[in-house]
Amino acid sequence: MAEMNNRLTRSLELINKKGLNGLIVYSGGTCSILAPSYLHYFCGCRPMGARNAAVVTKTGKPVLLMEPSWDAERVRMKSWIKDVRGSADFTRDLVRLLRRLGLAGPVGVAGSAEMTEEVYTAASSVVELQPADFIIEEMSREKSDEELEIVYDTARIADIGFETFVECARPGVREYELVAEMEFVMRAAGADDIFILLSSGPHNEEMHEPTDRRLRAGDIIIGEITPVREGQFMQLCRTVVLGEPAPVVREKYDMLLHAFRESLAAIKPGVEASAMSKAMNKVISDAGYAKYCYPPFMRARGHGFGVGSLRPGGAVDDETRVTFERQQVVVVHPNQYLPETGYLACGETFLVTDKGAEKLSKTVTKLHVKEV
């Protein structure tokens, strides 16, 4: 609870420093692996409804307005903010709340990109809204001990999901049945939400949502396993082959592992994130696959993650000028389409430390072979 109250203190410092009369932290209720949830980070609780906001005055009074109204009790038990109010008419109630708190003039808004036009227009009739995503981003740069504990625990959950992936992958199982087994064990281990892409076959073109295709001997199964716990995300990109893989599959996967290792050496505080991508692409390009390193074949070489990992952003490529910062959580994945093998998945999530990239998963990034 002390940590959460520190968020109020820090937000007030930034509100007053920028000459704002208050702050609105808004959420459209989404849970995205590539976009931050400012409200979740600020209040310590994931909203369920499509319109929710924390309103903070510059004198330090925080109020949470939640939709649907019946969710207020749950949020009240989980959040450090105790003045939680349910709403059956969010736009009307937000306007009333702004007036009752005496807010006028410049008020910052974090999460305005999620606001509907109706909400934005109504709030603008009372206060002068100014972009303030930077307030939450500045607050979240340094992870607390509690956040780091959740990060490590989410990595544990991801490992459990992958272990089930290997255990349950066998001929005859449908893709969606395999994903169901993985989701079950990860939720039982504490995941709040789960995002999984998976594809199987002798030559995969991409990763996608699971289908009803049955696995077969000789399949290359690629998966992107992403559990979420209390706003912290963890991702494993893994390749499993059912039966002995062809020599060319081993050869090309070894190339990706080389690219993976080279990219990790570039991850240090103060280094441009583009260095990670360039190191990865150089290895793959030197092997003769330069054109496959870029669109339309590949989009990004990694990305930041959700709450508390707002940098280096939703995509890391050769043009990413943002620098790595201490305690960022970053996904590094030389996932790659190759004409000889199809799409191969390789990579995982790391914590940026003063010494470099700290591996969070205990399972190994390698070509995994399942005997059949």
- Can you give the pLDDT at residue 138? 86
Q: Determine the length of the chain.
A: 372
CB 313 within 8 A of CB 303: yes
Tell me the pairing of strands 220-229 and 232-233. Answer: antiparallel
Secondary structure tally for the chain: helices H, strands E: 10, 17
* Class level of CATH domain 145-370: alpha beta
- Can you give the pLDDT at residue 3? 55
- Can you give the pLDDT at residue 312? 61
DSSP sequence for 24-77: EEEE-S---SSS--HHHHHHSS---SS-EEEEEETTS-EEEEESSGGGHHHHHH
CB-count burial class (<10 Å; 0-12, 13-18, 19+) for 135: buried
* Residue ranges, CATH 3.90.230.10, the chain: 145-370
* Residue ranges, CATH 3.40.350.10, the chain: 2-139
Tell me the pLDDT of the chain averaged across its residues.
93
CB 94 within 8 A of CB 122: yes
The fold of 2-139 is: Creatine Amidinohydrolase; Chain A, domain 1 (3.40.350)
Taking CA atoms, 304 is separated from 111, 120, 300, in Å, by: 17, 28, 11
CB atoms within 10 A of CB 137: 16
- Can you give the pLDDT at residue 238? 98
- Can you give the pLDDT at residue 145? 87
CB atoms within 10 A of CB 129: 17
Taking CA atoms, 265 is separated from 234, 261, 268, 328, in Å, by: 20, 7, 8, 16
Given a cut of 50, the residues of the chain with pLDDT beneath it are: 1
- Can you give the pLDDT at residue 305? 77
- Can you give the pLDDT at residue 194? 95
44-49 contacts, C-beta under 8 A, 24 or more apart: 44/4, 44/7, 44/78, 44/79, 44/80, 45/74, 45/75, 45/78, 45/79, 46/192, 46/230, 46/231, 47/71, 47/75, 48/74
Cis amide leading into 312 (omega within 30): yes
- Measure the CA–CA gap between 238 and 260, rounded to whole angstroms: 13
Give me the torsion for CA of 152, 317, 30, 53, rounded to 10°: 90
Write the CB contacts of 286 (distance below 8 Å, at least 6 apart in sequence).
none
- Can you give the pLDDT at residue 31? 77
- Measure the CA–CA gap between 135 and 35, rounded to whole angstroms: 16
* β-bridge partners, 233: 228
